[in-house]
Chain A
Amino acid sequence: MKLNKIMLAIVATLAVQVSADTLYDRLGGEQGVYGIASDLLDKSASDPVTRRSLEKVNMKRLKQLIGEQFCQLTGGPCRYSGDTMKQSHAGLGITETEFYGLVGHLRAVLDARGIAQADKNALLAILAPMKRDVVDSKP
């Protein structure tokens, strides 16, 4: 009996370790990535530095799409169904200040959710190359 319980515990621990090997899992799986997207947009839409380009935007839809994107990029089972970063940001005139404002919000959201430093950096590293398509290169 006792041995069985120990065996079960070992199997359960192994199972957790096996399934927790993607960044997606370490961010909290589906609930985690969609929650991060939602918190990030709520923060960005209420900050004067970042809210300009989110005015009159369908936030429910945007949260869903960014959740999908986070999920796919971190190794989750989702498929991002939105437009490219270049298409979706064209003409918005996003400045570096606005871009880094949003990055700051993302850091704060990840910290508030107790995400480990290494995982936080891993997510930021995945997203960082988007800057060239998001920020308007025109002076």
Chain B
Amino acid sequence: MAAVVGSRRMRRLQAGLVYAVLTALAAIFLFPLFWVFGLSLKTRLQVFADPPLFIWWPTLENYVDVLSRSDFLLAFVNTLVVAGSAVTLSLCVGVPAAYAFARFPFTGRSFLFFALLVMRMLPPIAVLVPMYVLFSKLGLATTRLSVVLAYATFALPLVVWIMRGFFEDLPKELEESAWIDGAGRYRAFVHIVLPLAKPGMVAAGILCLQLAWNDFLFAAVLTNNATQTLPVKMMSFSAGDSGVDWGGLTASGMLVILPVIIFSFAAQRHLVAGLSSGAVKG
């Protein structure tokens, strides 16, 4: 960590400068959100005020309107179900594989691993085009299952990458002693490795949940009115019959990001590990 150096006055001056620059940047970075949060607390009339109102009596009517709409609540439930299922599927399938990748040499290991890397790196639209065609022919289009499978294309590689790194950092001795005592690979995995892997699984799960929650493209193509997720529902407020529904759009936008902000802070220390996963380990 770099320290501020120099005489005491210089140090103070430098510290002040650093704070000033960073605070200004933070203000610029956060401003769009604050502005839209402000809009969501305005009535339709106040939104259209010119020049914009900077002081007004905030109203919650937009939030009340949005939250009392059954289609919005349905989209919320859809998002939870779809994102939750995708994460669960990816964890159940990916964690044993990650363990095998970390501990055992087997034929096809590097090929499979490379395929996972490609899967993580490829543009989602490239897999969405054939997926949509195949799903519609199989009668799966516009079902929640189709979205869950689509989300697994990014969630599964992420789980395997994160968990492989996690397993590599775990000491081998515990499993080895269990093997010697005759526990067998399966039992050692279930009773010894999995409990130890819980923190890693929580981190991987939260990151995948966030990605699934934030997705727009897959859900926009693969859902209909009954199965759409929150980001898709939110966008529909901007294309209503009577033009843009400002109150609905801004309030629903804020409601979509509220859980993300909460669980991002819950997972903050895992964030960097997740970000650079998919990158090549040295």
The finding on whether chains A and B are genuine partners in a shared complex, rather than unrelated, reads: no
Interface residues of A (CB under 8 A from B): none
**Which positions in B face A, CB cutoff 8 Å?**
none
